[in-house]
Structure 1
Amino acid sequence: MNIRTNILGINASNNLRTNNDKKAKSMEKLSSGLGINRAADDAAGLAISEKMRGQIRGLNQASRNIQDGISVVQTAEGGYQGITDIIQRQRELIIQGMNGTYSDSDKQMIDLEIKQLNGAISSIAEGTSFNTINLLNRNDYQVFADRSSTSTTLTTSDPVTASGYTQIELHPIGTADIPRHLIKTEDTTVTTNSSSNSGSITEIMLPTGETGYNDYNVNVDTTTVTDTHTETYESLSVSYDPEYLKPAAWYTVNANYTPLAPKYFPNLYGQLIENLDVNGSTRALEYTSRTGTDANPAVEFFTFPGTNLSITRSRTVMPDNSLEIKYEITNLDAVDANVKLSSLLDPPSNAVVSDALGNQLNVGNNIINPPSGNQFQIAGDIANATIEFDDALGILAPTDLSISVPASGQPQINFDWDLTLNAGQSLTIGFKYGSFSLNMDVYERTTDWDKAQHIETTTVTNIRDIDFEPPKIRIQTGDTGNDFIKIPLFDASAEGLGITNIGVNPPADPKQSLMKLDTALTTVTGHRGLYGAYQNRFAHTLNNVMNRSENLSAAESRIRDTDMTKQMIEFTRSQIIGEAGQAMLAAANTIPQSVLKLLG
């Protein structure tokens, strides 16, 4: 036994120190919550953890950057919304000013509002900013390629045209023809303007590798000047067209009114008015069908409401230039037996009525009895006719006939058929009107024009074809230098949109102004659509960044954070071992004291 070196004490002391170190580390990890407090704990884990912490902090800042980017595009889009509303109002004003109900002073007030609205657009563009960075009034573009061009095309033509029309007139017999002769010359100049515009802004890849845009716009202004020399000629010649002489088989105009005339001369031979009385009650006739206007005979079919009567009326142009007018009346039952057809004939204007022997009828109401077998001559100032009532014509003559001759004015011929029709019975009644003749000749007055024109059309085509890179705001969207999105900034001022010189009064042209506003509206809505796309892109990018930050935080926690359960077990174990070690150290120190017993 030796007492100089207490090996047992040294061993117990070393074990106690080692265990105390472990317990101290466990206490440190439990108190800090970190599994790695210093590089000595886990050099590789610490390095990985610190890299992850850098990524996490970068991603968290990127999420804030992205939200700033969303705020930028929302601010810009809000400004564009206001500009869109103003352009829509300007377009409304232009269309209002193009209406012909507004005076020049009214249009001046419209132009004044349009000008003020342009100022409002520029104010919005200048005032829309984010953290003092202007968003809508940026004309500091970098142009990479300019292929714009202007071309002017002049075309001329010298067409010669002829046109005319013929008017049918009546003139005294023997009127001399008038050969074609010049009656008027006229020189006019008409200038018309038209414009068209089309354009688009598309995204392209610039030679630098940056995203740029191509602005392609085609504006075409066309001015046409037409100088016209017009010579008007006229001629008058007698016509031998029989269509102008024979009575036309025209339709009844209303229910009971029929004009009697040759072509182009309504009522020249007079007019016929008819009424129907059934059982003492006058009823309006109704058409069921009819033949064409140029048919001969012209046939019309009638029915009468509430009855079983039908009438077929035919007007036939006869070889002697007269009209044979017939009615076939059919009764299908015994209820409507009493039928009266009343007719009133207004003869040609200023007519004188004579009997068959040429004796002029007396002034007053001339009662003719019986009507059958009578013929009367009607001589007017322009046209002549005869009227004949005779059962021998094969058509039943009227039952009553009277001719009213006033002291002055137009005579009238009244004739009636007062009939009784049995059930299923048909009767054919009628009369002959004509032959007809004219006291004047038919002439054709022809008016025609010879036009010689000189037309000059000037077309100016302006093409804007520019590749450019607009100024951009760089939004850092990740934890590395390559994670970013650039927001392009455009010029949305009135000048940048090309609508500074618009209005409804000269020198502005309303149509061209409307076209410019449509182009500006397309541009603005295109920018709004682009910013909407950026906003959606930012939203998805933000979700991705937050997911990455969350996943990295979880991974870093697994590396860096302590396992509290494991460390508690380790701490408890160390604490128990430490207490045991202290006891053993005390025991080791008591062992050398046994030597004293030997000395005693």
Structure 2
Amino acid sequence: MRITHNISALNADNILKKNNEKLSKSSEKLASGLRINRAADDAAGLSISESMRGQIRGLQQAERNVQDGISVVQTADGGMQEISNIIARQKELLVQGMNGTYSDQDKQMIELEIRQLNEAIDSIAESNTFNTINLLARSDYQIYADRSSTDTTMNISDPPTDIYISKSPIYAPAGTPGTPRQKTRDVDTTTTTQTYSSTSQTTPKVFPDGREGYNDYKVDTQTTTKTDTNTKVYETTAPTTNPVYTDPAYWYTVGRNDTYFGSAHHSQLYGNMVENIEVDGVSRALEYGSRTNPGTVPAVDHFVFPNTDISVTRYRTINADNSIEIRYEMKNNGTTDSTVNMSNSLNPPKNAVMFDDTGNPLPPGNHVISPVSGNVFHMEGEEANASVEFDDGLGLAAPTGLTINNTVPGEPQINFNWEYNLAQGQSMTIGFKYGPLSLSPNIDVLEHTTETEVTKHIESEVVTDITDIDYAPPQLVIQAGTKAHETIEIPLFNVKASGLGISNIGLLPPSIPAQSLAQTEGALAKISNVRAIHGSLHNRMEHTMNNAANYYENLAAAESRIRDTDIAKEMVNNTLSNIVSQSAQAMLAQANNNPQAILQLMKS
């Protein structure tokens, strides 16, 4: 027996806490009537229940909306019923007045009543409103063009010009009679024609002389030719006569699936660069070389060169007693390898000399390079001398060369190796200028500008004769469901005397009695047609409202089964938790008495 830790009491206390927590949750469910009071009770069930609750509330409001719509058509129908009675009375008066037994004075009295009845029709139509919305005197008809006419759209990628598209206007006076959306049409059209011409010219961008060793840059204009294709133009290369190396670099695309092909020769000439080289007192000239094309330029809508790897070359050759070859290789990753084999003395230029990407020198002479953009490098630096003197008695042959390996911009690294084959008695001093590689990123690139003259004349399809007028009356939209498309449109018509075409009926000039009688018959037909439309909408909305009520009932029942508490089942759980809690409490009291038994044992 132990008294330091009352394990039985701790166990009873733990069980009591758990049962009290269950009892608390059960009591909460019984008190609220909800099985899910928080997300922790049932996360998935809560999500479904909340979605259903939103839909249920939407259905409740939709049902009220439909009830309002029914009230609208009932209000309108009540007004039109009385208007129909008035028109029937007018027809009766016209038939009476057309009888030959009535004098002109009698006819004046009859026509006076007809005029007063027209005013009564207008008064009823203007006062028939629902929530300040007029239902029977709407005049805001929307007049549409004949449905066989279409708009003409033309897309051209040239600079915008004036495009004239003509259409015939359509007019309809207020209260125009006629059945909406008549189907008969008589339309005359003209055929679309188009003429198009275009000329283009490329304007070159010139590099300033002396900028990073570049000379002027020139682009020769090239006329374009038109082909009926829908593809991009990709560059090709083709040499011309020395010293020009050509690169087609001009293209232009217009709309309507027409592509213009063209090319412009662009070139840059390097002049001779002369350095003083003394070999036994004889001066020699050092010639510049060339670099290769940076690669194919993809077709784009502007004259821009891509940021591709650049491998450009130049070379120098000195023709003296023994040949001298200087090679520098330069790539845009900052790594430079160079080799110099010399049998004379020289001072290389400050700027680096380039050669082709295979390491082979190009023949001497003037050459042309293609323009580049992106990362452009050049070498420049401080003077540094490394001198070696030889006294060649029998001749010296040693593997030598000048190498710059893995040079990082800003950190020079150079090794000197020489290979000489000097005549007996000759001596030579070699001086080098070297230094860190540095970037020259601000080299101007070619800018392409185009001057285009475009003349267009477009005649679109023109509707010249329309025999029908298609109009749509204004509508009152009833939101009859929880989705945006679940709507019912109630058309609102103009049933004033002018809208029904009976504002000028009568027995005396300028009215024509027979025509007036026909007009009243037409007005009765129209008012009956409008009432039929509203009556059918009334029946439709009643069915819609009944469906919304059934939907609401079923959805509410489903939501209740998910979220509400099953009282009988929860009472069983509550009673069980209550009994277990009381039992645990009794056992806890018993466990707390155990130390007293141990003390009694110690006393005895």
TM bin, normalised by shorter chain, reads 0.3 to 0.5
- TM value normalised by structure 1: 0.47
TM-score scaled by length of structure 2: 0.47
